[in-house]
Chains A and B, each alone.
Chain A
Amino acid sequence: MPPTAAFTINFRDFYVLAPEIVLALWGLVVLLYDVGWLRKLPNASRQQKLGWITLLGVFGALIAAIHALMVRFNLYGMQELFNPAWMDFDRPEPVIFWGTLAGDLFTETINLFLILMLLVAIRLSMAWSFTDSWGEYFALILWSTVGMMLLAAAEELLTLFLTLETMTICLYLCTSFEKNKRRSAEGGLKYFVYGSVSSALFLFGLSLLYGLTGTTELYAIKMVFTPETGDSHIGLAGNVSGMTALLLMLVGFGFKVAAVPFHQWAPDAYEGAPAPVTAWIATGSKVASFVALMKVLLLGLAPWSNHMRDVATPGWVGVVAALAAASMTFGNLAALAQRNLKRMLAYSSIAHAGYMLVGVAAAGYSSRHSESAGSVLYYLIIYGFTNLGAFAVAAWLARDKDSDDISDLNGLGFQYPGLAVCILLLMLSLIGMPPLAGFFGKLYMFMEALNEKNPEGRLTMLWLVGLGLLNSVVSAFYYVRVLKAMFLRPAEGTVVAPAGPAIALPIVVGTVVALGFGIYPAPLVDLMKSAAVPMLDVSGELIGSSLERAMWNRARRAPTGPPTDVKLELPASVAPQAGSTAPQAESTPPPLLPGTGKGQGAASKKGGGMGKGAGKGAGALKKKGQGKGQDASKDAPPSDQPKTDSPTKDAEKTEAPKKNESGSDDLKKAAPKADAAKP
């Protein structure tokens, strides 16, 4: 169904989005209820009331998500039960809303887990009164979740950017909600500055990608870059503009997932934010960002993963591997020095991002993408639940002691042995001690990383995995510090009050997840493995148009194609054949981006990092025109497809600009019409 096909809305799409819609509307309900009925109440009871109302909405979304999973994907054979014939919801649609969002098993699974985490996080927020704007607070948390869920579902870069912003803007605000604390406002501002700079970098990379491909849909981007024959991992050799786009986007994602060296915001924001918000930033936002990262890299930019299938050749696998190694090592070493529990957890979450990036790199380089990606998803879920529990401990301290140093935990083990044992298990799971889920998750990911037949690069992976394992040992040192405080030190000064259900819930849930999926991981492994398949392959029964478009793009790339004038006469839908049938002429359709020349422009601001590419690009720039054509064709063997600024084109530009212009304008206008007429 082409997007321009008269914009018919398929109402089943809304059904697929039911959890998101429920949450988004519920945010409004919460706000209105707060303003309308609860203004007069004292703060604490207002918080409780609103919290329960929010939870009600989250439960609604949970039911919607479970319903969708069961009906649309026939989990546990529940399809018949919930799917009356007239609804006909059972057909899993790979994409909805004209290909902007996915609506497959993967998104529904992630939605389910995000909602479960949200449930825990909201309950945690009800632990104590750290603000008085409760309506806004709960609404923002709900909306940030909507952003996360849509981010995980985005199949198209504009949607991805918008949802990313929805998520982060809500979280910037949530971070500075602790009114009586200086550090909360400061953490929020720092998070905001780093976050929006990273968004801008990401957006600029995205714009270059758009220029290179002419589309923003991930699958179409992949098709454009994939050569018809040969290795589908063509890498980036010589493609300076592509490299710039890629690096910029990686920097953006690096900020979002807090990978070294783009991690500086994380400790500050984590420490500054109220503990429940920290928990939500560290888990929900990380899960969603990682999913988006994997989608962009493993789906859209898969052809750029690497060249020659080796890790060290140009392509994003090498970059991601380097980020992973740096994040693991730096995160763990920095965490060693921390005395503040939240800050320590912040650095440890940087380290965990490093472990997960190992999995991403593995998924990029291996031929078993979806299995590797499934292992990262498994780790993400385990990480999310255990970290929620860990931050609940910080919330406990913040509530009762108004500080969150590790030493504040002294003597907890003697006072509340039950919960202390749960915390112990959480910490062990974060270290990666068997038989807890953290161990299995790590091992699962590392084993998938090594599980690749291709011998090249396997050694690199082995080093990476070895580094990861050594880092787990280092991490034991600081996690054990928490255990030491709880069990080996006598209580001093004021002691914490009983946890209460709000704080106990995340801790217990995290423990159950860590223990349950550690001893019997098979169900979650299976679910994640099958969920990762649609994540990396929306094509299924993908909209024909996207495929068609991709073919068209690919055709343009080949040194074929009729002169532009010829093209005018062709209806848009014929274009693909035109490309494949006419391998005679030298000219190509107008390029969007004069390959290397542009690369230089973008590269120059990256300074040293891009030195090599920039130099080459600069050369190309000086030579403009004809020279550029040669240059591009020379250093862009497989990948630099549609960009060759061909001499013919230049000639046309000077000779008959008017005609050419009006022509392509006509084409533009004709295309939608033709398509609209079709169905």
Chain B
Amino acid sequence: MSDLVLLTLLWLIPLIGSVAVLFIPKSMELAIKGVSLAATIVTFALTLVAFAEYVAPNSSASASLEARAKVNQVKADSVEGDADVHEEPGAAQSDLMVRRPWIPYFNIQYYLGMDGISLSLVLLTGLVSVLACLASWGIDKQVKGYFSLFLLLTASMMGVFLSLDLFVFYVFFEVMLLPMYFLIAVWGGPRREYAAIKFLLYTLFGSVFILVAVLILYFFESPLTTTGFSGHSFDIVEMTRIASTTGYYTHNIQQLVFILFFIGFCIKLPSFPFHTWLPDAHVEAPTPISMILAGVLLKIGGYGLIRLAWPLAPLGAQDWAFPVAVVGVFSILYGALVAMAQTDFKKLVAYSSVSHMGYVTLGMAVMNLAGAGKYYAYGVNGAMYMMIAHGITSTGMFFLVGVIYERAHTRDLNKLGGLLNIMPIYGAVSILIFFGSMGLPGLCGFIAEVFVVLAAFNYNRPLAILSAAAVILTAGYILWTLQRVFLGKSEQYKGLPDLTVREKVIAVPLVVLTVALGVLPQPMLLSWMSPSVQQTVNAVARGASQGQTGAGNTVASSQP
């Protein structure tokens, strides 16, 4: 399958599904659900195809993005003729990258591609959307609209992870908002409208920051003219190369751009000062949407940081590393403490997301660049691992909360109790996944936390100690929750049915992955993801060293 077809289908199939669903008569609910499930399953299958191509031995897809971008040049002069717009590396070989001119006037390309970082998140998206689609089976209000929006959301999330052009990235990023808004506002809980508009406005404000940063990068013209690069590009790969190897982007500009990107993606992540929309959105959103929100949407913030904020502004990142790390640690502690105080099961899980996402921020920020960024690579690997692990465990947690809410019609931790006896399978799955989230050794969360704390230890001891100590808080609120919900005896809930087959189908992959990622980190994820992380880390390290070594290069900064 050629790259163009494969990468395009990854976002196009959910989109086609989303339109197709609209043309199915309202009465045929099963057909609507079937078509949606088929669309998500096909998408997931395609992500697996891409994965297979990526990890295949001698695959040209596993080369660095930069190397592949050189092969896939867009020929400006052959914009009109579509015959041979770019050179494929070889007829049989696919390298998971497409480049086509889209709006040549602004040098905007239809530029998609995957490396280990985005591939892992694309896989996660594919999986979570299948699971969430299964979990949506119980939706009975406005079925058509729901599944249409759901598939639109899937399409845009895929697009965000795939795009290597800032304009395309931004378009997908924004398209995501609308289905999310409606999914919360129509199918949500009692305060759904408030939560939805809060989500919308927060994210819109965030995207303004991102857009301004993008425009600054696009229009910035450096006093340094020897690079042969003159801005006016949305090409992420090329800009990363420029930022890491030349002093094209001056120090001040990088600081500005970094701050803008950081604020923009922090809102999405969410990190401490901008997190308030998250508990509201989670509490009000229907279960499958919570799963998507926690499992994938939050990762877009992290992905933005790792793909844009750090590589495009390494100097700025280095300057701001310590404050950012402090924000990360604070998020971890704050999230955990607030989670402990919750009585609403869903809100608790939501705050635990804030806490876990703090590890992502921290992992990115611990920029100890000594020794070619060896320790920093731990941090970034940890951040990525945390995103995947959290994507799996939090999806599972929200799913499990949804299951109990459906049966007991309450999420109040003080009212629930004794469920382990009543629903043994449910209880077992819950305990495993909650432990995975807590970071119990042998489960997925542990690996991530260890990596991040290790990197932090080599960066700043007090921060590392604080972040390690947070594990106690996490254990505290999770164990306490498990105790309240599952242990003890409860007459009230006697007779609640255990997991149905559909629910088991959802739970199994999550459980398997939670264990597998904890036991076999290397073959499961790191072996193919780390090289890409290492490339990013190298780029950031090289870019950050431009500040010291290339002092002559970076001419006194100027405003945009």
Contacts and interface: CB of A to CB of B under 8 A. Distances in A.
B319 interface: no
B174 interface: yes
Nearest to B172: A434
A79 B174 CA distance: 43
Interface in A489-534: 521-522, 525-526, 529
B560 interface: yes
A434 B197 contact: no
Contacts of A444: 106
B177 interface: yes
Query: Among the interface residues B201, B218, B219, B559, which one has the most CB atoms of the partner chain A within 10 A?
Result: B219
A488 B193 contact: yes
A187 B216 CA distance: 44
Interface string B98-109: 000001111000
B431 interface: no
A465 B186 CA distance: 34
Given A434-B170, A473-B204, A477-B197, A487 B182 contact: yes
A522 B105 contact: yes
A446 interface: yes
Interface stretch (A57-65, A206-214, A451-459): A451-459
B215 A484 contact: no
Contact of B106 (A428, A447, A458, A477): A447
A469 B208 contact: yes
B204 A450 contact: no
B197 A459 contact: no
Nearest to A451: B219
B200 interface: yes
Given A434-B174, A488-B186, A525 B200 contact: no
B215 A459 contact: no
A525 B103 CA distance: 10
A484 B185 contact: yes
Contacts of B559: 455, 458-459
A465 B212 CA distance: 9
B480 interface: no
B185 A459 contact: no
A131 B525 CA distance: 72
A116 interface: no
Contacts, number: 73
Given A458-B559, A477-B197, A525-B105, A446 B177 contact: no
A435 interface: yes
A466 interface: yes
A480 interface: yes
A470 interface: yes
B496 interface: no
B171 A434 contact: yes
A641 interface: no
A387 interface: no
Interface in B174-210: 174-175, 177-178, 181-182, 185-186, 193, 197, 200-201, 204-205, 208
B383 to A, nearest CB: 28
Given A484-B185, A487-B186, A525-B105, A473 B201 contact: yes
Nearest to A477: B201
Does more than half of chain A's interface fall in helix, strand or loop, or is it mixed? helix
Given A434-B175, A488-B186, A469 B105 contact: no
B460 interface: no
A439 B211 CA distance: 12
A428 B178 contact: yes
B558 interface: yes
A462 interface: yes
Contacts of A484: 185, 193
B88 interface: no
B221 interface: yes
A269 B208 CA distance: 33
Given A428-B178, A525-B105, A480 B197 contact: yes
A466 B182 contact: no
Contacts of B221: 453
A472 interface: yes
A435 B205 CA distance: 18
A476 B201 contact: yes
Nearest to A450: B219
Nearest to A456: B559
Nearest to B218: A447
Nearest to B182: A487
A469 B219 contact: no
Nearest to B192: A488
Given A451-B219, A458-B559, A488-B185, A433 B200 contact: no
Contacts of B186: 487-488
Given A428-B178, A450-B560, A466-B212, 12 more contacts: A433-B174, A434-B174, A435-B171, A435-B175, A447-B219, A450-B215, A459-B559, A459-B560, A480-B197, A484-B185, A487-B186, A488-B193
Nearest first, the 4 closest Cβ-Cβ pairs linking A and B are A434-B171, A473-B204, A469-B208, A450-B219
15 contacts: A417-B145, A433-B177, A434-B170, A434-B171, A434-B174, A450-B219, A459-B559, A462-B560, A469-B208, A470-B205, A473-B204, A484-B185, A487-B185, A521-B103, A522-B105
